[in-house]
Amino acid sequence: MWAADPDYRHLIRQVAGGPTVHVLYRPKANDTAYNGGWTALADAAQSVFPFADRRFGKYAWQQFTFIQGGDGSMEYPMATLVKASSLGADIHELMHSWCPMMLGSNESKYAWMDEGYADYSGHLVSGYYRETVTRKQLQGNAARLKSLDSTASVLPLEQYPSYRAYFNLVKSGSEEPLSTYADYYATNYAYNSGSYAKGCVFLEQLGYIMGSETMDKFLLEYYRTWRFKHPSPSDLVRVAEKVSGLQLDWYKEFWINTTKTIDYGIDSLWEENGKTKIRLINHGSMPMPLDVMLTFKDGTREMDYIPQYLMFGEKPAEQKDIQWFSHESWKWTHSFYTFEVNRKLTDLKVLEIDPSQRMADIDRKNNKLELNW
């Protein structure tokens, strides 16, 4: 890719210990907001490169360039054409420098590995940038900084559009398996929502299955193992299995090769001998492990974790500030599952399946029960 324009303005930013960032755009006279958007893009790129390196692996080259041009956005090695300065979209294009430019998956065969990765990583990088800017704005406001820290582990709000897009795709009836070749989709809608949104959800949900800390390790090991090579979906999953110690081929088969959906719910609860029994139901056609958060009237909480039998293992406790109880695996052939809690039923205030909402449950209305005793 090559571009030239006598009216281009050239911005340059040097990343400490990293590449030089270039931004080439056509300025507009007396339009401070428009021109400032390109300056903000240059500053943002300089700010996020070290974070992207830490989370996804070291950027391989000595420069990166944003060029205003084309009729949309298109990524190339060490550069991207962009139509306008838009931080979310432009950071998505930047993250294509990791995949497919360094992790060379075949987009014609596995479009979700390319676009889903860029959506997932782009959301995390954009979220980091916004949090960094927010922290600067909140300097001196200890209470609001503490509030920001308390929500740092929650899924960034910008991640939810990918889930909403996936849910809308399911409702539309147009969904096709992600194993469909890019040129073989029946509709552009199915291609876009599948490869971008459902591909992004694949990775976010993988972190739910393995645990967030394990997911961070996986991302770097995936980069280390497959940098400047050509991974397939099976290669990606095999790295995840090695890092996590879990069996994950079932997850790939259900999520990539079918259009089966996830739908768990709370069925019933009762008390026996001073202990609470909770029965859950699987309305869906795809099995998953479950995080079940219990909040009691005295303000204490516990996480009751139910591994999926097909995993042949379990993820480590993700939250250190609450009790974590691991239960027997739920066999995917069984529609119901009952577990026991060592508290009276009337002690319970709130019961919620997957409070982090990383699991793409297509009907979350039956995932939460609030009790008013």
SS (H, E, C) 233-261: HHHHHHHHHHHHCCCCHHHHHHHHHCCCC
For residue 126, what pLDDT is reported? 93
pLDDT value of residue 138: 63
pLDDT at 72: 85
Q: Does the pLDDT of residue 285 top 80, yes or no?
A: yes
pLDDT value at residue 154:
44
The average pLDDT across 173-198 equals 98
Grade residue 2 by pLDDT with cuts at 50, 70 and 90: confident
Nearest C-alpha neighbor of 155 from the set 207, 111, 190, 194: 207
Residues of the chain with CATH 3.30.2010: 9-95
7 has pLDDT over 90: yes
The string of pLDDT tens digits covering residues 22-58 is 999 999 999 999 999 999 999 999 999 999 999 999 9
User: How do residues 88-123 score in pLDDT, each as one tens digit?
Assistant: 999 999 999 999 999 999 999 999 999 999 999 999
Least confidently predicted of 152-156, 217-221, 351-355, 361-365? 152-156
Three-state SS at 37: helix
- Rounded Cα–Cα distance for residues 360 and 362 (Å): 6
**137/134 Cα distance (integer angstroms):** 5
What's the CATH code, domain 264-370?
Answer: 2.60.40
Alpha helices in 258-363 (DSSP H): none
Span 13-26, average pLDDT: 97
Of the pLDDT bands very low, low, confident and very high (cuts 50, 70, 90), residue 322 is very high
The CATH 2.60.40 portion of the chain extends over 264-370
**pLDDT given for residue 319 in this prediction:** 87
The verdict on domain 9-95 having CATH code 1.10.357 is no
Model confidence at 160: pLDDT above 80: no
pLDDT on residue 157: 45
Burial class from Cβ neighbours inside 10 Å (0-12, 13-18, 19+) for residue 270 reads exposed
- The pLDDT assigned to 146 comes to 61
Is pLDDT of 80 > 80? Answer: yes
Residue 119 amino acid letter: D
Q: What's the predicted TM-score (pTM) here?
A: 0.93
Check residue 151 and give its pLDDT: 46
Pair 305, 292: CB distance under 8 Å: yes
**Cα gap 21→23, rounded to integer Å:** 7
Question: What's the pLDDT score for residue 144?
Answer: 59
What is the percent of the chain with per-residue pLDDT over 90, rounded to a whole number? 89
Decide if 112 contacts 194 (C-beta within 8 A): yes
